[in-house]
Amino acid sequence: MNSTPAIALDHVSKWYGQVIGVNDVSLAIDGGVTGILGMNGAGKSTLFKLLMGRLRPSNGSVKLFGTDPWETTSPYRRVGYVSESEKMYDWMTSLDFVSTLARLHGMTRYEAEKRAEQALSFVDLEGVLNKEIGKYSKGMRQRVKIAAALVHDPDLLILDEPLHGCDPLARTSIMNVIREMGSKGKTVLVSSHILEEIERITEQIVILHSGKLVALGNLHAIRAMLDKHPHRILIRCADSRALASTFIDQQPVYGVRFIDSESLEIMTKDLSEAHQLLPTLILKSGIQIYSIENPDDNLESLLAYLVGDA
């Protein structure tokens, strides 16, 4: 791979009339899987559309392999794109769909069909190649889109909410595909608004909020920052008061709150340490536990923390 990064954004802004979609984002990504995290409307899709030359940046410059995608279509040779749109040609078979798109890269019909078969079996659809897309489930459709994006063996893969609306089986399968692509040395961009999804795919993340880049880097580093933040652990058990007494004298715990006789909320400033302690203490107490939840361990609270700090 040469020195120009796959993706380079330099102070990019995009606004639709009065509404800002992306606000002064600078970013360079090359190699590996990167998760783009953000709430709905944070600007993930806008960012991807800017990368794919579908939108023209209002400000700043977008470079795909060193070339402006709005001006020329040449970088698309090396890019595969899965859009958030669920519209497809329902009357086509998936083989037809993927091979047609492959032919748009200048492949022959034969080559395109071979590649399309490969790509579709890569996403576990080899059994339904000749069925019309209209008859597919949502997860299958999503995988057809991924196959279409993979068919020309791109160096950069951009996936806009690929897990959205899929059943757990499909999610696992799609996540495997993404991880595999990453391990092949491709640059992969995945967006999601669900932290745990991204967590299962990659460690390298970018967090967008209201069009702004709020965090960028290793998920664990961000997590660690988050762990120092006051956290709650919600435990449902047979006897909340008895359980509370075992916690109350431990170092990371700074508060306990009773919700009812079977629910208990523990407040801590070091989540990982608290979680390390938890199993031993529970075992020691012998109280029956129904569930343990981390209500603050989600994107909302992460964002609230990050944005609040900023």
- Residues comprising the chain, all counted: 310
The first and second tokens of residue 310, run together, are 């900023």
Distances (CA, A) of 104 to 98, 108, 270: 10, 9, 53
Backbone angles phi, psi at 73, to 5 degrees: -95, 0
By CB under 8 A, what part of segment 114-153 binds another protein?
114-115, 148, 152-153
Minimum gap (Å) between residue 204 Cβ and another protein: 23
Nearest by Cα to 178 from 213, 152, 208, 147: 147
In the region spanning residues 36 to 95, those forming contacts with another protein, defined by CB under 8 A, are: 40-41, 49, 52-56, 73-74, 76-77, 79, 81, 83, 85, 87-89, 91-92
Nearer to another protein, 32 or 41 (CB): 41
Comparison of 71 and 309: residue with beta carbon closer to another protein: 71
- For the CB of residue 73, give the shortest distance to another protein in the complex, in Å: 5
Nearer to another protein, 153 or 239 (CB): 153
Number of residues that bind another protein (CB under 8 A): 42
What are the two backbone dihedrals, phi and then psi, of residue 145, each rounded to the nearest 5 degrees? -60, -40
The whole-angstrom separation of Cα 269 and Cα 62 is: 40
Closest distance of CB 110 from another protein, Å: 5
- What mask, x for binding another protein by CB under 8 A, covers residues 87 to 106? xxx-xx---x---xx-xxxx
Q: How far is CA 167 from CA 36, 88, 141, 239, 274, in A?
A: 21, 19, 12, 36, 32
- Is residue 200 involved in binding another protein (CB under 8 A)? no
- Of 54 and 223, the one with the shorter C-beta distance to another protein is 54
| The Cα angle at residue 225 between residues 220 and 226, in degrees rounded to 5 | 90
The residue among 92 and 226 lying less far from another protein, judged by its C-beta, is: 92
Nearest approach, Cβ of 192 to another protein (angstroms)? 11
Residue with smaller CB distance to another protein, 170 or 243: 170
Residue 248 CA: distances (Å) to CA of 255, 282, 308 = 7, 13, 29
Give the C-alpha separation, 2 to 220, whole Å.
29
Residue of the chain from 155, 227, 270, 296 that contacts another protein (CB under 8 A): 155
End-to-end CA distance of the chain: 35
Encoded tokens for 102: 């492959």
Residue 110 binds another protein, judged by CB under 8 A: yes
The first and second tokens of residue 200, run together, are 């299962």
Residues lying near another protein in the complex (CB under 8 A) are found at 40-41, 49, 52-56, 73-74, 76-77, 79, 81, 83, 85, 87-89, 91-92, 96, 100-101, 103-112, 114-115, 148, 152-153, 155, 164-165
